[in-house]
Amino acid sequence: MIVALSRAAAFTGAIILLVFGMLYTETHSDVAWLLLLLFCGILMMYAILPRMSDSVPHVNSTIVSIGAICMVGFLLMTVQLVRIQIVQADEISQRSASVADGSVVQDPRNRTRDRDVARGRILTRDEDVVADTVEREGGVFERTYPNPHLSYLAGYHSPALFGNTQLESVYDETLMGREGGNPFNEWLDQVLHRTRHGYDIQLTVDSELQRLGYDLLGDRDGSIVVMDAETGAIYAMVSKPHIDPNRLYAGYGPNMDQQVSEASEYWVQVTESEGSPLLFRPTQGLYAPGSVFKTVTAASVLEHGLADPSTVFRNEGALVVGSHVIEEQNLPDDGRVSFTLSESYGYSLNVVFADLGIRLGRERLSETARQFGFESTIPFDFQVSQSRISSNPEYLDADIGLAETGFGQGQLFATPLQIAMTTQAVVNNGMMSEPFLMHRIRDNEGVVLSETRPSSWQEAVDSSIASELQQIMIESVESGWATDAQISGAVVGGKTGTAEVGDRTPHAWYTGFAGQDEPRFVISVIVEHGGGGGAVALPIAREMLVMAMDRID
Amino acid sequence: MRAALERFRFTEFQLLIVPSLMAIVGLLTIFLARTGQATWSWADIWVSLAYVALLVGVSLWFSATGFRGDQALFPIMAMLAGIGLLMIQRLQPELAERGESWANLASRQVIYLALGFLLLWGMMTFVRRLNWLRRYKYTLALTGVVLMVITMVFGVEINGARLWLDLGFVLVQPGELVKVILVVFLAGYLADHHDLLTGHYRLGPLRLPPIPYLIPLVFMWLMAVMIVVLQNDLGTALLFFGIFLAMLYASTGRLLYVVAGLVSFVIAVYLTYEMFSHVAVRVRNWIDPWASPLGIGYQQIQGEYALASGNLFGTGLGYGEPGVIPVVETDYIFAAIGEELGLLGTFAVLALYMLLITRGYLIAIRAVSQFERLLALGVTTILALQAVIIVAGNLRLIPLTGITLPFISAGGSALLANFLIIGILLRISESKWDRR
């Protein structure tokens, strides 16, 4: 009885160990896995070997034992087969190594497996083409990006050399028609070796809006993000400078060698060129936010009851913090020294916000910033860099650190998407929506297979505080430094920012919203080293918002 | 008429439906995948039709001659040999690209298969009993040694191993026959000394096995170690030593001998690993083929890519790229099956071997004489160990060695030796009927 129990225990233990090992040992550290298999093999043998005393002639009993040992061997082989062919199959196919002479050892099937599949297109909401597939002579497919103002949104697709990035990477399986439709039909296509068609992806981006932003930035570096105030749908996402993905394409067609050498050459060119064109600024560019961060400080002040929008603050033109003096540069020239919180925001008074930063303290200010998405990864179609409150936490223990952070300098770094989403939370009753670029998936006959459903991400502030903030932003456009942003017949709110970056010309920022009866579109604009936010970024934003209200229903 | 019906081997005949259909459908799939068109004629798959005819013919002959042995063995073997036939036919275009001498490998394999059936037929027709073999065990052993020596001296070297004899029109591998001879000899020898089971003698504090066991134990151990050192062939060493240990265990029932033999063998292999660099290279490559991805690790890496690409269902016969694996037609045919037939295919192949082995050991258990029992056990263990050693090598469970996958790998000598083994098993399975 005890023997039977211990055998059952050994058998169960071996199975549990095998499952555990299969899921948790890495492909590369095979020694641990092999030792585990050996151990499980011994357990199994203990569990199934017949006892010699089982009264049959010993020759027969020994033959049964030998057979049992064989079966354990076969069992371990089936386990290893499952591991190689199912559990780690994808990982093994993707494994590659570079050899000393520069050649790469990789699975040759990667070259051939999708040779005859026309990769799906990427389109804008108004059916303009971001990425296209064209058939060259001899039935070879090549990826092209016909529109410069849209092309870089897709990322690049370079199967023979660099792989995929951005949309081309995230939606690779869908674009190749392997995922996103009816799973049974996809499987059937594969089993029956039918010609597959890639699925098209339609974005939320509007081509004309995107083109306008592209032209407005012109030769200047920077980024523009326009999104829906409620759903988080992205209507424009401009980044400058940018790559030309056409020139990074290298496929396995007959021109492969030429494409590879040209793409490598271009790669060296873009990686060495000034301005980092490979950096997709809306999601990966990290900038000092300057005064556009004052929305977060104000939110924290309101949230923790330090003041309400009409609380009056004195501003003598300078604030002494320890051995530092913060001088006010943004005072309106009417000689006043008292301002409400709302006016301080509208005139972007650094002295007031420095003082508020100190009074909030590290915990409260950081907490509100985190609620607005700082220090988290914003869920998006592709990777978004985390915005930072400070590079080292001790920085906010000192008053000068809190003061500088309070008005948006210090060690703050934010992505343009983060700044747009801060405004989006304000106009969406304090709730941040998940931003998204992919609108829907269609098959090659235009039938819609699936659509992105907008969803909420996290609550930044209470809805009552959000509506106070929204009013403060509207007043900023009615009477502050952002009056140029006014659009007749529309609700407009916004905040300019001029972020100091050492000795160089400051970054020009603007973030705001506009809509017919209620806020409908949210924008953030940054022009790197562009100068004053009100003079440089604001006009771009205004034009973009006017077009957005005109074009998007 | 009634007598004829009683003799008819219904089970066997029914079981042959599966390998027959598989051969025909499989070859048709390969042909259609290759041409990419939906037109074909019976002539395109004559190989499979001939194969089916051979299967049916042999089974009917068994029935006609009143053979009463095991009815499952032949269909299982037919299934495995059929898979081998299909895989070689499928690989033929890839192999043909390697050069002229490879161009007709697939046709040669068909001839070997036919010769294998002829051998089986001959054995079942002309060899009624096997017990006489026992009397000639020393003669056979001598023949085996002579064959090995001839191969070592006059052999042709291929891929760094001197295992082949050139007969002018064909290369043969005497080692394959020597495996069977070894089993016959050991079965005879161990059966003769069966009564000495209880005896042992002392050497100081050590209790040693009786001399008749001690001598072959030491001899086989030395031989296995020499194969590792001289030929760097861990697989063959493991095979020879494994067969011996299994038969020793079956005839004495002493697990201690087996454990002692295994432990000393592992220690010896470890020492050779420390002492001889060429053995060490193989072992290191087993643990990490990526250390030399274009050198010695290349084959294993490509084999693993192939298996991984197969996934659950495989690419389908003719749709994969197993041709990129070096020596795919022998060493890595299992990976080719994994790529094109998927996990379902590899599981099926393993299941067939397990059935074959179980059947073989059952025949051993039911055998009437100790000699026949040990003989059946030994030849079944040859098949079992070969399958385990090469498949486990493909799967990187043990270092890879150049052993063939029974019935499936390309190669005539191995195929004929395996048919011989089936013949022996079939004969032994009938011996209990002979007693009446």
pLDDT (average), residues B377-381: 96
Structure pTM?
A: 0.76
pLDDT of residue A384: 94
pLDDT of residue A161: 83
pLDDT of residue B433: 59
Is B192 touching A (CB cutoff 8 A)? no
Higher pLDDT, A354 or A50: A354
Q: Which residues of B touch A90 (CB under 8 A)?
A: 308
**φ and ψ at B352, to 5 degrees?**
-65, -45
Residue A414 near residue A374, CB atoms below 8 Å: yes
pLDDT (average), residues A87-94: 88
pLDDT of residue A418: 97
Higher pLDDT, B68 or A545: A545
CB–CB of A59 and B388 under 8 A?
no
pLDDT of residue A29: 60
Interface probe with A: pick from B244, B298, B343, most Cβ of A within 10 Å = B343
Looking at chain A from residue 52 to 91, which residues have their Cβ under 8 Å from any Cβ of chain B? 52, 58-67, 70-71, 73-74, 76-78, 80-82, 84-86, 88-90
Interface probe with A: pick from B397, B400, B428, most Cβ of A within 10 Å = B397
pLDDT of residue B168: 74
Residues paired with residue B206 on neighbouring β-strands, in sequence order: B203
pLDDT of residue A119: 92
pLDDT of residue B199: 55
Looking at chain B from residue 385 to 404, which residues have their Cβ under 8 Å from any Cβ of chain A? 388, 391-392, 395-397
Predicted confidence (pLDDT) at residue B436 exceeds the cutoff of 50: no
Predicted confidence (pLDDT) at residue A48 exceeds the cutoff of 90: no
Predicted confidence (pLDDT) at residue A109 exceeds the cutoff of 70: yes
pLDDT (average), residues B405-433: 90
Is B313 touching A (CB cutoff 8 A)? yes
Among the ranges given (A392-406, A424-438, B163-177), the one the predictor scored with the smallest mean pLDDT: B163-177
**Rounded distance between C-alpha atoms, residue B322 and residue B302, angstroms:** 9
Average pLDDT, chain A: 91
pLDDT (average), residues A130-148: 91
Nearest-CB residue to A66 (from B249, B301, B343) = B249
Looking at chain B from residue 316 to 335, which residues have their Cβ under 8 Å from any Cβ of chain A? 316, 319-321, 324
Is B290 touching A (CB cutoff 8 A)? yes
pLDDT of residue B205: 60
CB–CB of A65 and B249 under 8 A?
yes
User: For A153-197, how does the pLDDT look when each residue is reduced to its tens digit (9 = 90+)?
Assistant: 999 999 888 888 999 999 998 999 888 888 888 888 877 777 778
Identify the DSSP state of A204: S
Q: Which residues of A touch B301 (CB under 8 A)?
A: 105
Among the ranges given (A417-431, B106-120, B199-213, B413-427), the one the predictor scored with the smallest mean pLDDT: B199-213
CB–CB of B365 and A63 under 8 A?
yes
Is B338 touching A (CB cutoff 8 A)? yes
User: For A338-351, how does the pLDDT look when each residue is reduced to its tens digit (9 = 90+)?
Assistant: 999 999 999 999 99
Residues paired with residue A448 on neighbouring β-strands, in sequence order: A442
Helix (H, G, I), strand (E, B) or coil at A506: strand
User: For B251-281, how does the pLDDT look when each residue is reduced to its tens digit (9 = 90+)?
Assistant: 877 778 788 888 888 888 788 777 777 667 7
In order of start, what are the domains of chain A with their CATH numbers? 2-88 (no CATH), 117-200+243-265 (3.90.1310.10), 284-551 (3.40.710.10)
Chain B residue with minimum CA distance to A190: B315
Nearest to B254 by CA among A451, A304, A52, A49: A52
Looking at chain A from residue 93 to 112, which residues have their Cβ under 8 Å from any Cβ of chain B? 93, 95, 97, 99, 103, 105, 107-109, 112
Highest mean pLDDT among A20-29, A40-49, B342-351: B342-351
User: For B118-129, how does the pLDDT look when each residue is reduced to its tens digit (9 = 90+)?
Assistant: 999 998 888 878
Sign of CA dihedral A149, A150, A154, A157: negative
User: For A361-410, how does the pLDDT look when each residue is reduced to its tens digit (9 = 90+)?
Assistant: 999 999 999 999 999 999 999 999 999 999 988 899 999 999 999 999 99
Average pLDDT, chain B: 86
Nearest to B180 by CA among B130, B124, B251: B130
A55: left (phi over 0), alpha (psi -120 to 50) or beta: left
**Rounded distance between C-alpha atoms, residue A276 and residue A159, angstroms:** 22
User: For A435-479, how does the pLDDT look when each residue is reduced to its tens digit (9 = 90+)?
Assistant: 999 999 999 888 999 999 999 999 999 999 999 999 999 999 999
The ipTM assigned to this model is 0.92
What DSSP line would sit under B97-158, residue for residue?
TT-GGGTTHHHHHHHHHHHHHHHHHHHHHH---SGGGGGGHHHHHHHHHHHHHHHHHHPEEE
